[in-house]
Amino acid sequence: MTAMLRPDLALIGEWVGPNSRILDLGCGDGTLLAHLARTRGVRGYGLEIDPENVARCVESGINVIETDVDDGLKDFRDGSFDYVVMTQALQAMQRPDRVVSEMLRVGRTAIVTFPNFGQWRVRLALARGRMPVTPSLPEQWYDTPNIHLCTVADFEDLCALRGWKVLRRSLLDHERRDDWAIRLMPNLLAEVAIYMLQAPGNGNGRRE
């Protein structure tokens, strides 16, 4: 099953500690939670706004809570999860910075993945005077849910500004994982970025 999993999700499966408690923001049809439950004995909940996805989660036996993540995580207590995860949805949030802050409040660790808007494909399209349409950004400018795209460099600036500690980082392109070329020129070559973050002053987070 792992072979069919989206690369960023597969990687999260390796990062997350066994039997941990997890909250997945924008969980879609529950693929990640099902994978983590199966392979890591992880328990938790997905938050999802789309009724079709909610129904699919329920049909798969995944705990799902129908809600709008943009409304915040006020129903969740401080530090009540080992991990709060958000995959490929940060760029669709009204205020990505606030969402990450909330993730770091509710979770001892946050994991976010997002498409890197600095990737060469994006730059190439823009250099041609066109909005980019790439494998990780498949929508046209007029129907995309992505309203707050950022580059790896932008995101790391925000982390530094807010004092979020980067515990782990992985940069992927469509086929490859984290090879030497990406590590050398992350902002140019990475298609998808994955970060494990911790709130400032929170030194007892779990690292696996």
Nearer to another protein, 71 or 139 (CB): 71
Q: Binding residue for another protein (CB under 8 A) from 77, 174, 176, 177?
A: 77
> Would you say the C-alpha torsion 160, 163, 167, 173 has a positive or negative sign?
negative
Element (H, E) at 160: helix 152-162
**Taking a C-beta distance cutoff of 8 angstroms, is the pair 98, 69 a contact?**
no
Smallest distance, Å, CB 114 to another protein? 26
SS3 11: helix
**What mask of x and - would describe binding to another protein in positions 78 to 107, judged by CB under 8 A?**
--x---------------------------
Rounded to whole angstroms, the Cα distance separating 95 from 29 reads 23
Tokens representing 5 are: 């999993």
Ramachandran angles phi, psi of 144, nearest 5°: -80, 140
Nearer to another protein, 27 or 182 (CB): 27
Question: β-strands 64-66, 43-48: how paired?
Answer: parallel
76 binds another protein (CB under 8 A): yes
Q: Binding residue for another protein (CB under 8 A) from 12, 42, 57, 137?
A: 57
Using the rule CB under 8 A, give the single segment among 56-64, 134-142, 153-161, 174-182 that binds another protein.
56-64
Nearer to another protein, 21 or 162 (CB): 21
Rounded to whole angstroms, the Cα distance separating 172 from 29 reads 23
Q: Which residues would be at the binding site for another protein (CB under 8 A)? A: 21, 43, 45, 51, 54-55, 57-59, 61-67, 75-77, 80
